[in-house]
Structures are given as C-alpha cells and as structure tokens.
Amino acid sequence: MSARAVITGVGLVTPLGAAASETWDALLAGRSIAGHSKVPIEFPPGLPRVSHLAIRAANEACGAGVPDNAALVVATSKGPVESWLAPPSRLSDVMGPIDFGLSRVASDVAAALGIGGPRLTVSTACASGLHALIRGVLMIETGEAHRVLVVAAEASVHPLFIGSFLRLGIIAGEEAGCRPFDQSREGFWISEAAAAVLLERADPQKSGVAVDRVAMAADATHLTRNSDDAVPLARALEQVCAGNPVDLIHAHGTGTLHNDASELAVLEKLAEGQQFRPHVYSHKGALGHSLGATGLVSVAINVLAHQHGVVPPNCRTTRPMPVQNLKLSRVPAPRKIARSVALAAGFGGQIAAVSLVNVPEV
C-alpha cells in the first residue's frame, strides 16, 4: 500500500495578507481587492519579485525548517517575467543565466531555505499549482521522497497581461469586480500570490489534513475555455470524489460567463443525491486570479477550512446563479469539513483536481 501524503505546513501570501492567518481573517471578514492587485510588500533588490513571494510562503509552510534532502516542486506560469519586461540597461541584465528561465524561482527558494534535494518546476498555465501538488504527492506515495515542499508563486500584474486578457473579454469592469457564480459576472481581476504546503508521509499517530485522491485531465476543445459539457472536468471530479460525500468544493470559479456556467453544471450533477449539500466557494472574488498560483492558494484555504470548521463567504456574489444540490453562501458558513475538493483549469485545456481528508478519518 502506498504512503499517504499529509500536509504538515501551510504558507500563504496574498494582496489581503502577508501570512496564512492574515489572509484567512480577511476572507472571513468579507474583504476583497479593489482591482488588479499586488501583495502590499516591498522587497529588497537582488531577486525577482516572484522569488521573494515564493520564499516568504515557503518559510511559513516550513516553520522550524525542512531537511536539506527534501524535494522541492515549484509552480509558476510566468516566472520572473516582470524582470524580463523591465527596460534593461544592458541586454545581459535579462538574458544572463541567473535570471533567464522559469526555473529561477526554484533555484532561489532552494538557496534561501537550504534545500539540497531534487527540484522541479511545473508550468501548466492556471493549473500549475495543483499539478505541482500532484507531482509532490506522487513523490511521497512512490517513496521517491519523504518530504516535499510544494510552492506556487505568480507576480505578473503587468499591463501586457492585463491588456491581453482584456482583449479576450475575460477581465471584469472596474465597478463589478470578480463575481464567481454570479448572474451579473463579467470576468476576473489579476493578482499576485504565493502559496506553499509541506508534504510528509502520514504518521498514524498524528492527525492532520491529507491529500486523498488526485486527478489530471485535458480538454482540447478550445484554446482558452473548456467544452460546453465539460466532460473532462466531470471525470476528474469523479476520480477524486470516488462516490464519497464532499463538504466543500473550492471551484476554479473565475467569474467568466462560460467557465462558471459549465463548471457549476458539473458540480450540480456531482452533488445529486448527497444527504448534505456541498458548499461551493471561489476565492477569486476576494483575492483575484493569481494564475499559476491559484490552485495551490485554493488548497491552502481548504486546509484552513478543515482546521477552523468554516467556509469563507463568496463575498462579491450578490446574485448567485440558481442551484439545487449545492450551497453558495455569501456569509461565513460554519461546517465541519471532513472532505474537500480543489479544482483548477488552465488555457490549453489543462485540468486538475485533488481531494483532501482529515486524518485519521472519522
């Protein structure tokens, strides 16, 4: 029997908090960003901003430290892109071996925390964070590593990307903001974020939150959206739920017209026949869309929901889309979370899903 991967540490840096507890308190209070947002922290020169964010989240997740032989898996969709786009004084400023490439973030995290084990960079658009977590879980389950630090970071709140998404018609207006699963949704705002989780082999003598099942899928119907029936997403959800009741579904929930409609239809069907309706939540109404980091941000928030027994409010969802088998709450909802699911999807059809459970299971 393969070893189960348990989450023993969580780190989270967002526009609403420099630590997991700060972001969690802001979410429960119904706070939200007011536009495309960066983390309100100024970092010293020397490293790309995305590396600073990743290191901060990693340090929080590791707490007292992580053995130097731990493995490291880093997720980012754009890496130190702000450094590449900054006007250089010399071409070598951006093309040198230190700054060039997505792997710069993993190198910086490893150096800052003294991690000497194997490391890997995962970049699969907005599914990057969950794909990195899945890779870490597989390393634990196969015995490839006993401890894996998984980090996801994004720092690309830049006019180039805002303009590109605007042309695609998926950016929310200044007044509306991101409204996941709202009848008047318009799209999302882009944000910075970093999340980290420390994975270890489960200890039967200790309680915690474990990664139960994982799934990856591909939907090649369209470059930037899923198919109307969202069959790949449905199959991924079936894999991670395996017929078990779910308390919390942390949806991808981008606040876009097509994604929210197709995703909610799949979730409605999944929840048919459950004795207690699952809560559906998307953090993007509060925190914005952090692109490659968003999936691991969802996992970090789910872990906090398991620990505190409450689902944060869908703060900007003022006119929820009609549901029958689900709950879309606009206020904090106390609930014991025994099993939760996190979803992520990315341009190009990348889809990922994971389920978390309390251990020992009750």
pLDDT of 238 above 90: yes
Give the three-state DSSP class for 326: coil
pTM over 0.85: yes
Q: Tell me how far apart the alpha carbons of residues 223 and 356 are, in angstroms, rounded to a whole number.
A: 30
CB-based contact 245:274 (threshold 8 Å) = yes
Between 85 and 99, the more confident residue is 85
Which tens digit of pLDDT belongs to each residue from 169-214?
999 998 899 999 999 999 999 999 999 999 999 888 778 999 999 9
Between 199 and 90, the more confident residue is 199
Percent of the chain with pLDDT over 90: 81
pLDDT for 91 equals 44
CB-based contact 109:58 (threshold 8 Å) = yes
For the segment 138-146, the average pLDDT, to the nearest whole number, is 94
| CB burial readout 91-126, b (16+ within 10 A) else e | eeeeeeeebeebebbbbbbbebbebebebbbbbbbb
**29 — pLDDT class (breaks 50, 70, 90):** very high
pLDDT for 83 equals 83
Nearest to 342 by CA among 284, 286, 288: 284
Which tens digit of pLDDT belongs to each residue from 271-327?
998 889 999 999 999 999 999 999 999 999 999 999 999 999 999 999 999 999 999
For the segment 72-92, the average pLDDT, to the nearest whole number, is 81
Please spell the DSSP secondary structure of 121-167, one letter per residue. Answer: EE-BTBTHHHHHHHHHHHHHHTTS-SEEEEEEEE----HHHHHHHHH
Q: Which domains does the chain have, with CATH numbers?
A: 5-201 (3.40.47.10), 210-359 (3.40.47.10)
Which tens digit of pLDDT belongs to each residue from 121-131?
999 999 999 99
For the segment 220-248, the average pLDDT, to the nearest whole number, is 88
